[in-house]
Every structure is written in structure tokens, then in C-alpha cells.
A and B are shown apart, each in its own frame.
Chain A
């Protein structure tokens, strides 16, 4: 069973800064199945990135995904106030434990 480990656990940044989130798999995974989600408090998760690097419909281009094999990243180029949330990576039936992006 694949384990996804996200780092850091919490990222403290200011609006306008760049955020880089990491997702490491315990074994090589199929990039086509790697997704990233955003979850704001009290809301359902929202798909941001699928296939490791493709933005989902309606997702701003400040969100980008990359990586292959066991190492994947989600980058938010310039943080907007609404971007402060928890982010999860997902591969097949497994989620990472999440990274919280909080306001510094």
C-alpha cells in the first residue's frame, strides 16, 4: 500500500508570497493518478490539480503542480487571502495527511 507523506505540516506565509508544498510517495506512483485538493474550513474538498500537473476547471493559474516518480509539488505563485487552507495530495485510494497554509 502506498503511503503519501506531505511536508511541511504547516506553512506560515504572508499574502503575495510563494508557497511550495511537497508530497512524497513511499514507492513510485503513476503521475496520471496524482491529485491535489484544497479544503477550506467547513467546506468540502476542491480538486485543484489532476494528473500531477493539469489544472482542474476554474482553478486560477497561480496554482501549478509538478513532479514524477515519488516526489510531487504543488506551487501557489502568489498567495491570495482565499488560499489559506489545508491542502491534500491523493493517489488512487490514498490521501496524504495534509499541509495547512496559514497566514503569518
Chain B
């Protein structure tokens, strides 16, 4: 079964750090681009960061550039999102998603169940 399982969410104070993980199974992890997408309470979807299948190309939305880092470990078939200098506006459900090809530009056909990040004092 193709599956993505996120973990690592929680409550963190403004300015703090958190690392999200996404464990992938049921497909050849090294062949597909991956992405983190978030959804603030009552809001729409926002692409946070993407990474190509090789890990050689990454992209970030402007609001997280320089604060968040996306990475992947092929040996562990796991996607990560290192989040630093967290702000209240980073509060959201964070989903990891698998792209349908090598580069993180097309559709995302597999999604995790999401992990909640709350930034509050």
C-alpha cells in the first residue's frame, strides 16, 4: 500500500524550531519529487516547499525562505521539513505529498494525513 505518514507536529513558542518527518512506503521513494503543503485553520492550501527526486532541486514559498529547509533521506525513505524561527502565521496542518514525477512541478497523487503545528506562547 502506498502510504505517507507525517509526524513531529506540536505546540512551539514563537521563535522556536520543529522538525517534521514524513515516512514513505509502498513506492520507489527515490523516483519521485516530494512536497510539503500546509493549511492554516479555515484557510486554503499553500505549497511550503518542494524537492526533486534526486534532492538536487528545492523550492520554497517566499514566507518561509531562509527559515525552513526541506530534505530527504533515500535510505530511510523519509522526507523532512526543518522549521526555524517559527511565527504565529506558521500555525497550520502540514501535509506531505508525492508528486507524480521526478520534478516537483506537476500533480501530487499521494498525501499523508497531516500533522498539526501550533505556534503560540
Q: Interface size (B, Cβ < 8 Å)?
A: 22
> When the two chains form their complex, are residues A95 and B111 in contact, meaning their CB atoms are under 8 A apart?
no
In chain B, what residue has the closest Cβ to A49?
B107
Beta-carbon nearest neighbor of B108 in chain A: A47
C-alpha spacing A51/B106, complex, angstroms: 7
- Size of the chain A interface, CB-CB below 8 angstroms: 25
- B44–A47 CB distance below 8 A: no
Whole-angstrom CA separation of A44 from B106 in the bound complex: 18
Inter-chain contact B47/A94, CB cutoff 8 Å: yes
B50-70 interface with A by 8 A CB criterion: 50, 59, 61
A56 touches B45 (CB 8 A): no
Chain B residues within an 8 Å CB radius of A95: 37, 44-47
**Interface presence of A28 (CB below 8 A):** no
B104 within 8 A of A: yes
Q: Determine the distance from Cα of A37 to Cα of B47 in the docked complex, in whole angstroms.
A: 13
Whether B44 and A32, one on each chain, are in contact in the complex, defined by CB atoms closer than 8 angstroms, is: no
15 contacts between A and B (CB under 8 A): A35-B106, A35-B107, A37-B45, A39-B45, A44-B113, A45-B97, A45-B108, A46-B111, A50-B100, A50-B107, A51-B107, A90-B45, A90-B107, A93-B47, A98-B44
| Residue positions of A touching B, CB distance < 8 A | 30, 32-33, 35, 37, 39, 44-47, 49-51, 56-57, 86, 88, 90, 92-98
